């Protein structure tokens, strides 16, 4: 146990150091090649900001993976776990998504091309026999057929990638919500003594620390500020999605039956996923294209209410933590379906109240 704790901490700190070394190099590279996130009507920043912060994420995962391999090579099951089909396909999927993000950040890709690559990367999971096979009582559903589980897995993974990507609209938001989710996953896997996942998670959490430092507190005039870009948000979304699916798949050879798997998975990513659902529903109701970008995400609305970027960040983080507290408190009191229904009601009420406040602030009458 102590050995695994020390290895996990080493992976975390090596990743932190790697991030603080790499990000300044990336900033200089972006400045030299003029690779900036250019302001437009939809974006909140007013100056050109380097957008390749996510490039530093993969090396962090590489360090964590090598550390994990070294640990597990010294166990009786090390090689079996390291060369398992799902871990190989996972590595390929991460590389595909990471490369897609980098190409989009540097050269630009159309939405359809990115979606196609996301589907390819997501399809690798069911191929490796990793898929959602149980809903643990959500909507009264428990075990589900493999084909249904495979389709659901692909849809969920693509959805999570885009949720993390779309929530990345203000400084620190996507990375902060990812840190919260990763912390929850770390706690889950640590309790089950599945340390190889803990080490991988620690490696990813580590690089987010230097990124957040440069993203939130970096000075534009000193070329210290950076955005993660699609290379970062898509990679974070893919890794989070895979870990959640790994947790949700009932496999008695890995973990015992987890009655709260569906609820915990929804809870850890509730704010970004609910935000995407709400935006899509609003666009449909107003007869707008689903994939057309706008300024109707939760962070946009909080800023229209008068909050600064940092204040909006703090409020959204607080909202995420409140949902976690509520769901954990209700876990043994209600069925998972009812808890998620309560989450939806609270989220709708939050936005309804926020809309009223914004309209009053702007001197407009409130209409449904």
- Spatial neighbors of 130 by CB under 8 A, at least 6 apart, are 86, 89, 90, 153, 242, 245, 246, 249
Radius of gyration of the chain (CA): 20
| 318 CB-side CA count, 13 A | 8
- Spatial neighbors of 361 by CB under 8 A, at least 6 apart, are 304, 305, 306
> What is the DSSP secondary structure assignment for residue 134, as one 8-state letter?
B
How far is 178 from 57, CA to CA, in rounded Å?
13
Cα-based angle 314, 319, 321 (whole degrees, multiple of 5):
95
Cβ 236 vs Cβ 160: under 8 Å: no
Quote the tokens at residue 234.
């898509």
Residue 133 marked in a binding site: no
Cβ 196 vs Cβ 19: under 8 Å: no
Quote the tokens at residue 192.
């089950």
CA distances from 92 to 8, 58, 161, 354 (A): 23, 12, 16, 42
CA distances from 303 to 196, 311, 354 (A): 40, 9, 11
Task: State the burial class of residue 368 (Cβ atoms within 10 Å of its Cβ: 0-12, 13-18, 19+).
Answer: exposed
CA distances from 357 to 303, 305, 348 (A): 12, 7, 14
Residue 230 marked in a binding site: yes
At residue 351, the 3 state secondary structure works out as helix
Residues making up the annotated binding site are: 165, 230
Residues making up the annotated binding site for Mg(2+) are: 165, 230
């Amino acid at each position: 146990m102590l050995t695994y704790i020390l290895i996990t901490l080493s992976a975390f700190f090596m990743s932190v150091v790697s991030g603080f070394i790499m990000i300044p190099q990336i900033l200089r590279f972006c400045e030299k090649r003029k690779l900036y996130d250019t302001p437009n009507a939809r974006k909140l920043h007013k100056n050109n900001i380097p957008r390749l912060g996510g490039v530093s994420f993969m090396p962090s995962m590489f360090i964590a993976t090598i550390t994990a391999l070294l640990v597990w090579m010294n166990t009786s099951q090390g090689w079996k776990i390291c060369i398992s089909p799902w871990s190989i396909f996972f590595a390929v999927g991460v590389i595909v998504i990471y490369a897609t993000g980098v190409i989009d950040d540097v050269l630009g890709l159309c939405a359809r091309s990115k979606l196609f690559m996301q589907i390819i990367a997501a399809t690798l999971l069911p191929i490796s026999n990793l898929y959602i096979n149980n809903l643990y009582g959500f909507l009264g559903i428990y075990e589900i057929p493999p084909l249904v589980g495979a389709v659901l897995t692909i849809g969920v993974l693509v959805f999570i990638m885009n949720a993390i990507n779309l929530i990345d609209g203000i400084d620190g938001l996507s990375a902060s919500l990812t840190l919260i989710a990763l912390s929850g996953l770390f706690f889950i896997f640590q309790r089950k003594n599945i340390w190889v996942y803990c080490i991988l998670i620690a490696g990813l959490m580590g690089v987010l620390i230097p990124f957040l430092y440069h993203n939130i507190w970096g000075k534009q005039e000193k070329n210290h500020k950076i955005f993660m870009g699609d290379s970062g948000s898509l990679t974070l979304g893919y890794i989070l999605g895979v870990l959640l699916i790994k947790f949700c798949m009932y496999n008695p050879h890995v973990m015992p039956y987890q009655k709260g798997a569906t609820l915990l998975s929804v809870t850890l990513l509730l704010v970004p996923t609910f935000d995407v659902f709400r935006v899509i529903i609003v666009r449909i109701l107003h007869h707008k294209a689903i994939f057309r970008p706008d300024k109707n995400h939760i962070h946009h609305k909080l800023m229209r209410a008068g909050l600064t970027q940092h204040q909006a960040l703090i409020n959204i983080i607080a909202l995420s933590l409140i949902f976690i507290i509520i769901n954990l408190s209700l876990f043994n009191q209600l069925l998972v379906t009812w808890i998620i229904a309560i989450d939806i009601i609270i989220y709708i009420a939050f936005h309804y109240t926020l809309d009223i406040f914004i309209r009053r602030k702007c001197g407009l009458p409130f209409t449904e």
